[in-house]
Each structure stands twice: as structure tokens, then as C-alpha cells.
A and B are shown apart, each in its own frame.
Chain A
Amino acid sequence: MEQLGVLQRNDASTQGKYSVEVKHVSKSYGETEIYTDLHFQLLKGTFVALVGPIGSGKTTMLNMFAGLEKPTSGTILVMGKDITKMSEDSLGEFRAGTIGLVPQVQTLIPELTVRENVELPLHFAKVDDKSRERKVDYVLEKVGIRGESKRVASTLSVGEKQMVSFARAMVNDPPILLLDEPTESLDPLIAEVILGLLRGDNLTLGRTIFVTTHDRRVTELARKTLRVKKKIP
């Protein structure tokens, strides 16, 4: 089993400094153990990359941070809240306001337009109409896809979909941004746009960014790199 590493030791004097606290977390699928007794914290505003072979559980960890998968044991605090004890409905509301997720697999709703896809998280977070419009306009502009806002998602290229996913993750100004292989399978031009956004203009600055990747350009941007060495059998 891999211990991913410790970013910061537990210290009562630093309460509130962490965006994610992983406390003695184990995760298994049936008999297959993925992680055993993980214990580390992510400081607020830090940029951490998680690297490792395909199938080593990187996405599992990201999903646990997002509350999409529960650990087998242990607790995960996100912005001080224990997400392992939340009900599904509470978790949904918490996720809408706290976490921006850019998954590896495209998760846009194909029937909706770019704009409608991007504004969905704001509906779940119960943001009022005026603020919603302003936030969507802002993020579409920053990501550079405002001109595509009326296009239906099913007509977009892979790269365009990734940019829309990024805009959707950022639209509610979440303190935590989780990205799963954000530059995978993208043409160099689009990958460069994503890297530019991660490089830290005022769209991503000050957020905790946790990214799984194989791309050295992404790890070079990160302040800390965690490695999972072993592939799960």
C-alpha cells in the first residue's frame, strides 16, 4: 500500500488553514485495497499534483475529495466539514458551493447549450438570476468561450468540451478545484489554454488546486507533487 505523503503534520495551531484534511483513510473495493491509512492535509491555496501509473487510484482519491466516493474507513474534512458523514443531499449542496470538478470523462449534458451547462452548478447552489448571469458571462469570457455560449454541447470538439468543463467548475468561485487529467487527449493548442488558466491568473489564484496528471507541464506548475508508485493489482 502506498502512503502518499504528508504535506503538513497535524497541528492544532493551524486549524482552519487546510482545505482538505485526510485522516487515517483507507479505501478498498472488495478484497482489493487501494489506500491504507492515508493521513495528510492540503493547505488552503496550494496547488498539488498527483501522479502515478494508470489504475493506481488517482481518480479514486479525487472522487473521495469531491465526496463522490466514500472511504472504507477514516474521515475526510473539506473546508473543515466532515464529508464522510454528510447525507447525499447535504453533500450535493456542499459540493455545489465548495468544489469545482473537472472530470477526466466528459460530463457535460449533451442536450444543453454551453451557457446552460455552465450555469447548472449555480442553480444547485441557489444563486439568484442576476448574479448567475454575471458569473456565467465572466467565466465564459475568462476561459475564452463566450462566443460559443449558444452552441449545444453535443456539437463541441473534445477540447472545447474540456474548456466548458473548466468554465463550469470555476463558475461558482469554488475554493477548491479538482482536475482529473485536464490536458489528457487535448490538442496542443487547447492544452496550452488549460495550462494558461492553471498558471494562475485571477481565475484560479488563491484556490486549492488538486490535479491528477501524467503531463509534466502540469506538474511543473504545481507547488507539490505526490506520487502513487504502485499499480493496483
Chain B
Amino acid sequence: MSRGVSLQEGQLLARSLNVSKSTHLVVASLAAAVAANAAAAIQLTGFAGQIALLALIFVTVAAGTSAISSDIFARSGQTIANLRSIGASSRSLSNAVFFSVIGYGVAGSALGGGVGAALGMALGGQGGAFSALFAVFGVILASSAAAAAGVYAGGRRNWSS
């Protein structure tokens, strides 16, 4: 038995929980803003600074997505109770929220990371194209992991037994 969430199930649950276009936009904007700044700064600092920046991305995006997830679960209390009564688990609902927003988070990160990488090079980043590429991949990876952690933490916090 699979423990994942199918695309159709995710879409149904996301609609049930009223995960709206506004939510997608907030996630994409947050990810883009953080990624742009980090991808630029990452090229202007040494290894320790880069690690610190990636950690900062992780914490910031995780906190943001946790708050978004928490908000979705909190305002859908009755819907969640209804879904529980027919077999939903906190995992299935968190999966649905995660998969409904992750695409927008990655897109925002990629866009912001690209802009930030170009900005970093323009500002005198020393590593060249390789460093810029590292910056983009680094921020996408960190923000995706952070989004996952945030969504699940937010969902778990609001799951009432």
C-alpha cells in the first residue's frame, strides 16, 4: 500500500482545504524573494558564509511555509474533522498541502535564484558561472527541503486528535 499521495487525491484535498491561488502566490513570492537575495549573496562570500546563508534560507522558508500550512489547517478545522471521519490522516493532508504548493515554491526559488545569481555576478561575484549555478541549485534545494519541513510541521501542530 502506497503511503504517498496521488496527483488526483492531492488536487481533491487541496480544493477541500481551500488551498487557493493566493496561497500559491504567497509561497512563490516568499521563495523568490529569499532565493534572489541568497543567490546573490552566496557569490560574494566564502564557504562558511555560503553555508550560513543556506541555513538561513532553510530556517526562513521553513518558518514561512509552516505558518502558511498552519493557517490552512487552522481555518479548515471542520473540513479536516470531516475528512478524518472518512479515513484521512495528518500525513495524507500534509502531503496534499505540500504537493499543491511545492511546484510554486520551486518555481519561485528558480526565478529568484536566477535573478540573484545574475545580480551576484554583476556585483563582482568571484566564482563565475559555476558559483552562480551552485548558488541557484543550493537555494532551490534548501528552500524545497525547508518547504517540506515547514508544511509538515504546520500540519502536525494543528492536527487535533
Contact = CB atoms under 8 A, between A and B. Distances in A.
A and B held together in a complex: yes
Interface of A: 66, 68, 70, 88-93, 95-97, 101, 103, 107-109, 111-112, 116, 119-121, 123-126, 129, 168-169
Contacts of B48: none
Contacts of A95: 84-87
A50 to B, nearest CB: 18
Contact of A123 (B12, B18, B79, B81): B12
B24 interface: no
Contact of A96 (B13, B16, B81, B86): B86
Contact of B89 (A93, A109, A116): A93
Contacts of A125: 87
**A contacts with B: majority SS:** helix
**B contacts with A: majority SS:** helix
Interface of B: 1-2, 6, 8-9, 12-13, 15-16, 18, 79, 81-92, 159, 161
Given A68-B85, A93-B87, A107-B86, 17 more contacts: A88-B159, A93-B89, A95-B84, A95-B85, A96-B87, A109-B15, A112-B12, A112-B16, A120-B16, A121-B86, A121-B87, A123-B6, A124-B87, A124-B89, A124-B92, A129-B8, A169-B86
Contacts of A68: 84-85
Given A88-B161, A123-B9, A109 B88 contact: no
A126 B1 contact: yes
Contacts of B1: 93, 126
A111 B18 CA distance: 9
A92 B79 CA distance: 15
A97 B82 contact: no
Nearest to B92: A124
Contacts, number: 77
B12 A107 contact: no
Contacts of B161: 70, 88
Contacts of B92: 92, 123-124
A111 B8 contact: no
Contacts of A129: 8
A119 B79 CA distance: 16
Given A88-B89, A92-B89, A123-B8, A107 B82 contact: yes
Nearest to B96: A123
A94 B13 CA distance: 19
Contact of B15 (A88, A111, A126): A111
Contacts of B82: 107-109
A211 to B, nearest CB: 16
B2 A109 contact: no
B77 to A, nearest CB: 13
A111 B19 CA distance: 12
